[in-house]
Structure 1
């Protein structure tokens, strides 16, 4: 989804460097033009598969020069295509868009391009946040296949609404709608092929690559390329993580291979999750789930740390489903979210509390004349920290750029007596009774507020905010009161 990428990470750059060596289609091409035209026409559905010499060149490129890449894509189709097809259908989008991720990322959910685009659908950090993909030093939802695919579908639908043309929408996914509009003004063209000469070279190649990959996934076998080792999703269950956890220790004590855990949870970018983690849904192999549940206390004691005497940082079974043992566990998403209508405490009521220090995520929008040094002084942090939090290699920043700032703040939390009962389902009623005493924080929606901007302001996951307020869609109105529970 950025202009200097062809196919995933190091693979992208390798392919990009070879593009100038693509051979011109001669009088007698290896694959007959007539055959390609006929097959393109058979495959074409909602998105045009226009025959062009560039499309022809890429078909032969994927057959003869990059047969290993083509084979790899065939092998990974069973792993991701069911998800892609389901999500595309949900959004009413053409099923053939599933081939786009092959061009974007090589179906590698953790790939990052040198322009910092990441994940299966290669979202730039800012665009990812715009579409609700949370990112910090430990979690990057651009790498989470389900959420990234959902975001990509929404973005593709938005681009198609802008241009009303799928070839232009695909090109704008690569280079941005602004560049496409400028090319249209310069060339006075209205289709991809009439603005072709005004586009950046890599964007000119983007749509032909998509056409070629669509062809290869349907006719690759006819050219002697087959999936030798197809990949499938690892059967998995989920647990909720709250607070610090050492994932290496977790794996060592639960018998789970760390590489397998990483594959199931590509959005985790470190070997730990920090103290501030709240209700992170972590996938674990189903074959280990029964053992994990049976030995939960011992396993979690070995890899977590407690901030309060009795321990408020818990990891328990998923509350939204029946687990492998056939039991349905309860888990308080937050103390507020687990209550029913009418059970929220009055603003004047308070429970016994303890003060702890936690890290809060803030956002700073760069103003004219600001530098990393001036921003670091303003927020009392170091330049090195600013670079680390925002993955900046250099000190150059631009006006309007959003920077993440992690601040240590003091927070009043419920005492152990109020929270400890959440561990034992047998005393769930006592837990709800204690939860009613908690003082709630609210945000009154202002004109221009969105759920995403509010979640960023308070350092909350978007899903957390929506669940706490029982919001299914994304619509909010000025004057509406939202529960803020971090």
Structure 2
């Protein structure tokens, strides 16, 4: 059922399922049209001609059968496709235009997946464009236990555009390219040799049955999305993209707890991030862009420390940076680009936290420095690991590499610890403030009783400030705290 073909002189082995699960059950139900079809042949020929752009929409008995099939037997499916068009078509059209491909290719995803971004076929093909695991990796779609980028609409669409462009370069014919997307270019070339045909319709009879139906289904779906209203099919509950902002995650996060604390509907989070396959992201997560509904984003920003304390492993590997949608800024807040979750165990420290770390060390401290390496022809993980004096296991973990597969041009992240000289002071600012407050009070304050708070596990500056009715700035100033780091057992001056 699932061919593994070589794209001659174009690529290594590529896999593709022969038919998307979304339409597999439908094929046996298609009936041949009789002498008096419900939709006149002349009408279809006229409308196909009007719709035709770059990709030929030839009238054929099979395409006629599928038009009537989508009108009468699968009207509900057709209606669902109309309802999901606004959700995905703007994305498809933008990507297709970027690659110089016909925009009418957007209808192909309806045949592949029924516009369901998380569907998986029996052959393990997944996503809107139904990539097999190996094919997805070939086109840069990352996959592991927690993340499967075949389900991420934008990245999967980008990969589909690259694959379709590659197939068109091979055949120079869009109908053959579509057939190849379904069954693999090797099967199409074999059919061309056997039949001595050079077009889809001249090799039609020697193609696999599923592929013979594939192009007519595409033609019929193109027709239904443009003329479905004329046959009494209308969208009822049209779907649109949920307005969203983004959060950059570094480290472990429990997404269910995050949603609960942020008042975010977990189903909305799943719709915005279909590539997440679990309810958590693991400790080794780096720079993952998590989309959150814009409606709850302001609440999250106002309560971010409390929320993140409840769903991350703060002292092991939790990390967070905030950014607006389509923005390269690290923090959309502007005023405070660094806060507690910006530091991950294997990533470069933020400025404030870096300074605190250096002050806490009596002589020197280790700072993690990130660099990158671009893979060259003939290089392997072993050679790269030796070059940077790291282990292969570390390279694989930092870059989410399974097995030892790397490709030329790939950029690998490298993390190395470097010694940072400490300031001449031998005590931390926090410790010094505590010492001054407890052991060496100024004479003028000798008769004034100071009020303290001992930091408990789970406390944050925000929680403490709310408890005592203070501003965070006041609390930090009184205790000479830079950054936002506090530790259990630490005593903080509340009033003096």
TM surpasses 0.5: yes
- 1:40-51 paired onto structure 2 within 5 Å: 40-51=48-59
Aligned partners of 1:443 and 1:482 also within 8 Å: yes
Partners in 1 of 2:101 and 2:250 — Cα distance? 36
Matched, 1:5 2:19: yes
| Residue of structure 1 equivalent to 2:107 | 99
In 2, Cα distance between the equivalents of 1:2 and 1:161? Answer: 18
Aligned-residue Cα RMSD (Å) equals 3.6
| Contact residue 290 and residue 325 of structure 1 kept, 8 A | no
**1:19-38 correspondence to structure 2 within 5 Å:** 19-38=27-46
Give a deviation string over 1:370-391, Cα, whole Å, max 9, x none.
xxxxxxxxxxxxxxxxxxxxxx
Whether contact under 8 Å (1:440, 1:485) holds in the other structure is yes
Contact residue 272 and residue 291 of structure 2 kept, 8 A: yes
SS of aligned partner of 1:98: helix
- What's 2:140 paired with? 132
1:175 Cα deviation from its structure 2 partner: 0.7
Change (3 A) 1:435 1:146: farther
Task: Specify every segment of 5 or more residues in structure 2 that has no aligned partner in the other structure, as ranges.
Answer: 1-14, 385-391, 402-406, 417-496
Over 3 Å counting, the alpha-carbon distance change for 1:86 and 1:50 in structure 2 is same
5 Å-filtered alignment, 1:54-203, equals 54-203=62-211
Please report how far the alpha carbon of residue 330 of structure 1 lies from its aligned counterpart in structure 2 after TM superposition: 4.2
User: Within the alignment, does 1:446 sit opposite 2:376 as a pair?
Assistant: yes
Deviation at 1:57, TM superposition (A): 0.3
Alignment correspondent of 1:419: 349
Mark the runs of 5 or more structure 1 residues left unpaired by the alignment: 339-353, 357-412, 464-473
The SS at the match of 2:201 is coil
Who is 2:242 aligned against? 234
Q: Deviations over 1:9-45 (max 9, x none)?
A: 4x43332xxx233221211100000000000000000
- Rounded to whole Å, the distance in 2 between the matches of 1:103 and 1:215 is 13
Q: Deviations over 1:235-291 (max 9, x none)?
A: 000001111111111111000011110001000000111111111000000000011
Distance 1:326 1:243, change over 3 A: closer
Secondary structure in 2 aligned to 1:316? Answer: strand
**Contact between 1:318 and 1:329, CA under 8 Å: does it hold in 2?**
no
Counterparts of 2:365 and 2:174, CA distance in 1: 51
Report the TM-score, using the length of structure 2 for normalisation.
0.69
Counterparts in 2 of 1:181-330, with a 5 A limit? 181-308=189-316, 312-318=317-323, 320-321=327-328, 327=334, 330=337
Mapped contact 1:318–1:331 kept (Cα < 8 A): no
- Aligned position for 2:9: none
**TM-score for both structures, normalised by structure 1:** 0.71
SS in 2 for 1:136: coil
Secondary structure of the residue aligned to 2:264 is coil
